[in-house]
């Protein structure tokens, strides 16, 4: 039996990391404790790390594509980067994947936006599905300090929907997401 470990290129990673850190520069999000602000690029690095952590377990896996998707996944939704920028720098497959991971703000509410994005993700290669799973895993590390129990419960429900819709893309990530959902909001670190 040949052991096939997916290869990924540090040069591909570095180029996408540079693009993401340039466009997300200055963005921060609320941390676990009162007043804590975390650089946005921390989230981006965590999503890429979650992808690489399962890469060796995934058959027929395009690791370079997945890494680019992970590093660029929020650039259309949260920065001034455009679809054309992504297509020029990384090609049409990456641009289409990031587009699918981007919520359409023309839809009336967050639930409709999520369902629409999930439906579009399901038309993309499974590496795109995996990045959505990895994204939610990292978002479930700890609730921000200012979230109440109701908000936490709603976020868990939404995560279950993501797991149900996309979990078949990766046994490893589905398992990890299920665990994160189960433990989310338990043992909160108080500020
Ligand atoms: Ni994200």
Is pLDDT of 1 > 60?
no
Could you tell me the distance, in angstroms and rounded to a whole number, from the CA of residue 40 to the centre of ligand 1? 9
Confidence of residue 191 (pLDDT cuts 50, 70, 90): very low
pLDDT for residue 189 = 56
Measured in whole angstroms, the distance separating CA 108 from the mean position of its chain's CA atoms is 23
Q: What is the DSSP letter of 141?
A: S
> Tokens standing for 149?
């129990």
The rounded Å distance from CA 29 to ligand 1 centre is 11
Please return the burial class of 152, using the count of CB atoms within 10 Å of its CB with bins 0-12, 13-18 and 19+.
middle
Q: What's the average model confidence in pLDDT over 153-176?
A: 97
What integer best gives the mean pLDDT of the chain?
93
Cα–ligand 1 centroid distance for 135 (angstroms) = 5
Phi-psi region of 119 (alpha: psi -120 to 50; beta: other; left: phi over 0): alpha
- C-beta of residue 4 within 8 angstroms of C-beta of residue 61: no
Listed residues: CB within 5 A of ion ligand 1: 74, 135
CA of 74 to the centre of ligand 1 (A): 5
* Distance from Cα 56 to the centre of ligand 1, integer Å: 22
pLDDT above 90 covers a percentage of the chain that reads: 81
Residue 124: pLDDT over 80: yes
Compute the distance between CA of residue 42 and CA of residue 141 in angstroms, rounded to an integer.
12
The rounded distance, in Å, linking the Cα atoms of 97 and 25 is 22
Mean pLDDT across 179-184? 95
Q: Are 143 and 109 in contact (CB under 8 A)?
A: no
User: 20: exposed, middle or buried (C-beta count within 10 Å: 0-12, 13-18, 19+)?
Assistant: buried
Q: Distance from the CA of 49 to the center of ligand 1, in angstroms?
A: 13
Residue 2 pLDDT > 70: no
Within 13 Å and on the Cβ side, how many CA atoms surround 190?
Answer: 1
Identify the pLDDT of residue 188: 65
Q: What is the pTM of this model?
A: 0.93
């Amino acid at each position: 039996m040949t052991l096939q470990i997916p290869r990924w290129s540090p040069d591909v990673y570095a180029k996408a990391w540079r693009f993401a850190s340039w466009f997300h520069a200055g963005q921060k999000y609320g941390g676990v404790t009162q007043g804590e602000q975390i650089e946005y690029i921390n989230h981006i690095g965590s999503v890429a790390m979650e992808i690489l952590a399962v890469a060796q377990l995934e058959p027929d896996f395009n690791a370079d594509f997945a890494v680019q998707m992970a590093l660029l996944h929020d650039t259309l939704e949260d920065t001034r980067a455009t679809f054309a920028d992504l297509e020029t720098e990384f090609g049409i497959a990456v641009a289409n994947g990031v587009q699918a991971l981007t919520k359409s703000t023309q839809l009336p509410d967050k639930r409709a936006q999520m369902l629409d994005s999930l439906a579009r993700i399901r038309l993309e290669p499974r590496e795109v599905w995996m990045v959505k799973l990895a994204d939610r895993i990292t978002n479930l590390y700890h609730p921000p300090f200012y979230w109440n129990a109701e908000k936490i419960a709603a976020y868990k429900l939404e995560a279950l929907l993501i797991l149900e819709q996309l979990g078949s893309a990766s046994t490893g990530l589905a398992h990890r997401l299920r665990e994160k959902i189960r433990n989310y909001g338990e043992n909160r670190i108080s500020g």
